[in-house]
Amino acid sequence: MKTKLLSPGEVGKAADIIRSGGLVGIPTETVYGLGANGLDPTAVRSIFQAKGRPQDNPLILHIPDPSWLERYCEDIPEAVWLLAKRFWPGPLTMILKCKRHTPDKQSVSHTGPWVIPEVVTAGLDTVGMRCPAHDICRAIIEAAGVPIAAPSGNTSGRPSPTSVTDMLEDMDGKIDAVVDGGVCQVGVESTILDLTCTPPRLLRPGGISLEELRDMLGEVELDPAILRPMGEGEQPRAPGMKYRHYAPKAPVIVVKGSPARSAAYILEHLSPTYWDGVICFDEFAGWYPGHPVECLGGTLDQWEQARRLFHALRAMDEAGVKRIWAQSPDTAGMGLAVVNRLDKAAGFHIIEV
């Protein structure tokens, strides 16, 4: 298969591919997604095949505006509309109850009835819904006339793509096309909030912080799987919860503590050869001569840290290092999303200093 690179003006071509059951790399404000018609079970299965993604890992459906929610979801809490008014379009995914249906009603038509295939939900009675804040992405969804199922467009387990170059690195020759929408502005995947339980539960941190959600909703629980591995037999309720994610080829060691102390610990434990690479805050970039270094941004600039994280992990692959040391921010604000991605990239190999 030859993967076409489409320009931002070729929305119609991308939508045609989606409608015909093909796969398209689509830009969002978070990361690039691997998109297919979310109502077409065969097309959705192709996503899993292209990524090498486990079948029990549910997908998110992307819609162009909140009015589409009532087509696919039921028992929608009032809080959903308040959250949508404040945070959509934006990096927030809401877990809601799927509409009930019988198998004989399944259809891939965008004129209805609208039925979410089980391959999207991994057999759950819930589905993640998101309205992305990228104009090109929403235009493709509107032109296609169907919700687009779109996990991150990387080979399963690898760092997520935040540019067309990243997307093609993993998916060239495996999918029909990629739309060039520039570099992603958020840099990590969307926040996932489960609104089928009381209180609502944060399943994955992202571009909307836990503090913002609590400011609006009051109590919001933090799912334990955000900061620890899922146990044997636990079923993920959202993408990114169960499996090793965001990982480069070399093993990652995350060092937590004050920036100065974590930087010093890394310096003390580096291999004296080119074997080790370092991902660190800008202030410590000069501490590690002779080693590949990727900067995350300043110690206080959490948004820049999020934007640079996946690029830094991929750059370590290009450098050919055998081990990666990474400084970790604290978990306040956007830092929670960066910490979550780093911990999972490291397989929770963490050192506290």
Q: With 60 as the cut, is the pLDDT of residue 4 above it?
A: yes
Residues 78 and 138 in one domain: yes
Residue 195, SS3 per DSSP? coil
At residue 115, the pLDDT reads 84
Residues 173 and 307 in one domain: no
Task: Give per-residue pLDDT as tens, 300-351.
Answer: 999 999 999 999 999 999 999 999 999 999 999 999 999 999 999 999 999 9
Residues 176 and 36 in one domain: yes
Residues 202 and 279 in one domain: no
At residue 140, the pLDDT reads 98
Residues 137 and 183 in one domain: yes
Domain-embedded: residue 239: no
Residues 259 and 174 in one domain: no
Answer with the one of 186, 211, 226 that is the final residue of a domain.
226
Give one DSSP letter per residue of 263-288, joined into a string: HHHHHHH--SSTTEEEEE-GGGGGG-
Answer with the one of 176, 210, 226 that is the final residue of a domain.
226
Q: How many residues appear in the chain? A: 353
Domain-embedded: residue 127: yes
C-alpha separations of 111 from 44, 131, 261, 306 in Å: 19, 20, 59, 39
Mean pLDDT of 96-106: 67
Overall domain count for the chain: 2
At residue 329, the pLDDT reads 96
pLDDT-wise least confident of 59-68, 86-95, 244-253: 244-253
Bond prior to 289 in cis (omega within 30° of 0)? no
Domain-embedded: residue 231: no
The pTM of the full predicted model, rounded to 2 decimals, is 0.93
Domain-embedded: residue 247: no
Q: With 90 as the cut, is the pLDDT of residue 102 above it?
A: no
Q: Who contacts 108 (Cβ-Cβ below 8 Å, separation ≥6)?
A: 37, 39, 40, 41, 146
How deeply is 7 buried, as exposed, middle or buried, from its count of CB atoms within 10 A (0-12, 13-18, 19+)?
exposed
Cβ(266)–Cβ(288) below 8 Å: yes
Residues 268 and 177 in one domain: no
Residues 210 and 279 in one domain: no
Residues 200 and 163 in one domain: yes
How deeply is 154 buried, as exposed, middle or buried, from its count of CB atoms within 10 A (0-12, 13-18, 19+)?
buried
Q: For 113-258, list the strands marked E by DSSP.
A: 126-130, 148-149, 177-179, 191-194, 201-204, 221-222, 252-256
Helix (H) or strand (E) holding 26: strand 24-26
Domain-embedded: residue 137: yes
pLDDT, mean over the chain: 93
Q: Who contacts 221 (Cβ-Cβ below 8 Å, separation ≥6)?
A: 197, 199, 200, 201, 202
C-alpha span between 174 and 181 (Å, rounded)? 19
Q: How many other C-beta atoms can be found within 10 angstroms of the C-beta atom of residue 136?
A: 22
Please report, rounded to a whole number, the percentage of residues in the chain having pLDDT higher than 70: 92
Give one DSSP letter per residue of 117-129, joined into a string: -HHHHTT-SEEEE
Task: Give per-residue pLDDT as tens, 79-98.
Answer: 999 999 999 999 999 999 99
Domain-embedded: residue 9: yes
CATH number at residue 83: 3.90.870.10
C-alpha separations of 256 from 291, 342, 348 in Å: 20, 11, 12
> pLDDT band at residue 105, thresholds of 50, 70 and 90?
very low
Domain-embedded: residue 134: yes
Domain-embedded: residue 232: no
Answer with the one of 187, 209, 226 that is the final residue of a domain.
226
Residues 322 and 261 in one domain: yes
CATH number at residue 318: 3.40.50.11030
Residues 8 and 83 in one domain: yes
Query: Exposed e or buried b for every residue in 303-316, given b needs 16+ CB within 10 A?
Result: ebbbbbbbbbbbbb
**309: containing domain:** 252-352
Please report, rounded to a whole number, the percentage of residues in the chain having pLDDT higher than 90: 86
> pLDDT band at residue 106, thresholds of 50, 70 and 90?
very low
C-alpha span between 185 and 188 (Å, rounded)? 9
Residues 276 and 170 in one domain: no
At residue 195, the pLDDT reads 98
